[in-house]
Structure 1
């Protein structure tokens, strides 16, 4: 059954990874329209009619295709059965990692829709779609590091080919933004009648045109990254509950943290460059490195974590501002237990425990979606409440545990992004130095 479109104005966002939930969720927040992010797709009791904007993290980016599709469909079905959401946005990776085709097909089925409009473009971060092909900083995606992603490598440049990797039967077509209204009026489908329309976009203006073509279409599922999300938010928020366009300013002050930690488990060269810039811009900042080479056996991993925790205790005793990061070594050998990012998260949690600082005085700047999610698990965080965008694509959120979180995708941000975020977290008299 097609989901009933009403005037409730409530918005549901399904995000396949942690940083995507944050960088898109924040775009729908105003002073009078709150946003809540659920980190547990299997525990959705908090989803209710009181939600103006609800983001649900499915966390399916790296899952096997069948499991990713099952979870995405089940979450969509559960959410819309609990709340009459007027709008649904499926947030995916701007580089199309994950099981995009299978997950979109599953969500379409759950919503009772047959058409999805796909555009992962995020021009501000160098992601564009030209002639049906995905480019990063002007280069076809298969010529970039994302083609070598150890968990979900991208094997094709064309969006429709990437879709068909995980759902060969779904119908696809390509078009330009200006042709989208006409394409949506045509009869077209694949197996079961479902179709995905992949749309070109190189500019925010083209994303706006896509948003305007689909924003009033309850039969169409928008699928994309934060770029399309930003365009849709300006339209959908006009009808959101409690929306007040005259009073949509962001909170001015940061957390004023007494303990501020940068945590990076990302192997993305962009995050590595940001850590190097952080050390240059904030000389003397303690940097605790977790050695990947010592995490591949049980004994070595235990000894390495003991060393790191002792180092954390030593640093916390003299400084409440520091960084914890994985070594830059490229490793093919899997870690002893969990993912490499989980060891960074354990070190962060230890720092929080031994600091003696109350949760409201703690801020953590995290690079990498998996690192962010691991940190939240270790710290007992189940929900986030985005407050403002500190740097493009990097939101500041409060949490149900009281701790402040700033999260960024590994490949997002200029070289000074981590330094800017860390300074934002500190009291003004500290950040000025």
Structure 2
């Protein structure tokens, strides 16, 4: 039997922070000890200053997830960040790579899913280059954002959100990446110079061998990327098994379901019953919401029925009003009583558009993110150590503001959303939620979960190894 590797097996690049934790959640559920890195890790003389690339073997994990904030960047910037992440993951000895994006395929006709996939394939299959630790011999990959557990399914190349096609799901109103075409073959083809194909559901239903044959046929037709149908978790396991020898896989977090078993079958992965265990974090709690999604709207409304909440007005912040100070002043009496508060910028599509018309799309988004990030810093100074954050862009801004560098991934709270914790002398517990995810009572549920994290009996059992978090 092959010796168990002491270095990471799977290297993942996620285009936003909540997507990264969503993916890491899937891997932990599959028994892979997983560390999420905020940006490309570096060697630090002190925890907050970085300069040199981090050396191999520093992270005792089976899977490494590099969380970028690249989903809505210009395509060239997203490509550059993704390639830097790939270089670092290859240096850690990873054998396979996964590019993770949203289960609603959030992107525009300019990218960034297509350009990043092209660049990663080019880097992994450079002519004459022997790829370190990667498998497969052809520049070919799949694109499968399906996440059936959360209602995202793909049938004949079309993405459904619940019973609605993507373009009638509310995503057509997304302020940054409006999705107005449910045919993913067409969406991806507009983003890439590569030929895009389709692996249909009937092929997936026929099993791993049929899918592998379909991959070979598509490669023979010059296809480099194939949308893969999936309407159930069983389909994702089939696709995962068929991709066992791929150097690169792309998709939503669901595509990771079958990957741990591939490494286990190869004798490279031990079973880790405690892969999701996190240490207890003491301190106050707060909820921050910046997403404008339908799910987050419902979660905010449910919280406000019984709990204190303060709404951020972006136009007031743009006028120079002391919005951050007002929010913190509102929160203080509740924090004094150890009662969690919600501070939110969640708004209706019409309200978002009105702000964007006045401030501009990019400026409006940045203003909300920076305001909530400043509030997060203020809350930490007031003793908050447990944060629930709604929205991918908001989560990215908050973790950066809190100087979070790495996260250990714990158990699932709701589909796609795990608990996470940092290390260090003053650890934080965080639940970072994609705007579209979570039940209506998610905020309450997440806070209960973070309050109930158990002390690990031994550091090696919790995954809180020296160097695993900073």
Q: Give the TM-score, by structure 1 length.
A: 0.85
C-alpha distance in 1 between matches for 2:25 and 2:445: 18
2:118 is equivalent to residue 110 of structure 1: no
In structure 1, distance between residues paired with 2:440 and 2:295: 7
For the Cα contact (< 8 Å) 2:146–2:154, is it kept in 1?
A: yes
Aligned to 1:313: 332
Comparing 264-273 and 111-120, the one that deviates more: 111-120
Question: Partner of 1:236 in structure 2?
Answer: 263
Does the 8 Å contact 1:27/1:233 carry over to 2?
Answer: no
- Aligned partners of 1:138 and 1:31: how far apart in 2? 28
- CA–CA distance in 1 between the matches of 2:149 and 2:269? 30
* Cα-to-partner distance string for 1:204-244 (whole Å, 9 max, x where unaligned): 111111111112x135x221111111222333355586622
Residues 46, 76 of structure 1: alpha-carbon distance in 2 compared, 3 angstrom cutoff: same
Aligned to 2:98: 89
Match of 2:178 among 133, 153, 168: 153
For residues 396 and 264 of structure 2, what CA distance do their matches in structure 1 show? 28
Who is 1:431 aligned against?
A: none
Name the structure 1 match of 2:135. none
What is the 5 A alignment of 1:121-270? 121-167=146-192, 169-176=193-200, 177=204, 178=206, 179-186=210-217, 188=219, 195-215=224-244, 217-219=245-247, 221-237=248-264, 243-244=270-271, 247-248=273-274, 250-251=276-277, 255=280, 257-270=282-295
In 2: Cα distance, 1:406 partner to 1:314 partner: 24
| Whole-Å separation in 2 of the counterparts to 1:165 and 1:47 | 38
Unpaired runs of at least 5, structure 1: 1-5, 429-433
CA distance in 2: counterparts of 1:195 and 1:367, whole angstroms: 35
1:55 corresponds to: 65
Match of 1:26 in 2: 25
Q: Distance in 2 between matches of 1:390 and 1:48?
A: 31
1:390 deviation in Å?
A: 1.8
Cα pair distance change 1:42/1:286, threshold 3 Å: same
Q: Pairwise CA RMSD of aligned residues? A: 2.7
Structure 1 residue 92: deviation in Å? Answer: 1.2
Distance in 2 (alpha carbons) for counterparts of 1:48 and 1:386 = 20
How far apart in 2 are the matches of 1:136 and 1:149?
14
Contact 1:7 1:86 in 2 (8 A): no
Q: Deviations over 1:346-401 (max 9, x none)?
A: 1122011023x6xxxx2111111111111111111111111211222111111145
Q: Is the 2:314–2:364 Cα contact (8 Å) retained in structure 1?
A: no
- 1:316 deviates by 2.3
Distance 1:232 1:250 in 2: 17
Distance in 1 between residues matched to 2:191 and 2:158, nearest whole Å:
17
Q: Which runs of 4+ in 1 moved over 6 A?
A: none
Distance 1:116 1:275 in 2: 39
- Which ranges of structure 2 fall in alignment gaps of 5 or more residues? 44-52, 126-137, 454-470
Q: Find the residue that maps to 2:292 and give its secondary structure.
A: coil
CA contact (8 A) 2:157 2:198 kept: yes
Indicate the SS of the match to 1:188: helix
Deviations 1:60-97 (A, max 9, x none): 101112221232233213421x1221121111111111
Q: Does the Cα contact within 8 Å between 1:31 and 1:250 map onto a contact in 2?
A: no
Choose which of 279, 291, 294 in structure 1 pairs with 2:313: 291
Structure 1: distance between partners of 2:396 and 2:365: 16
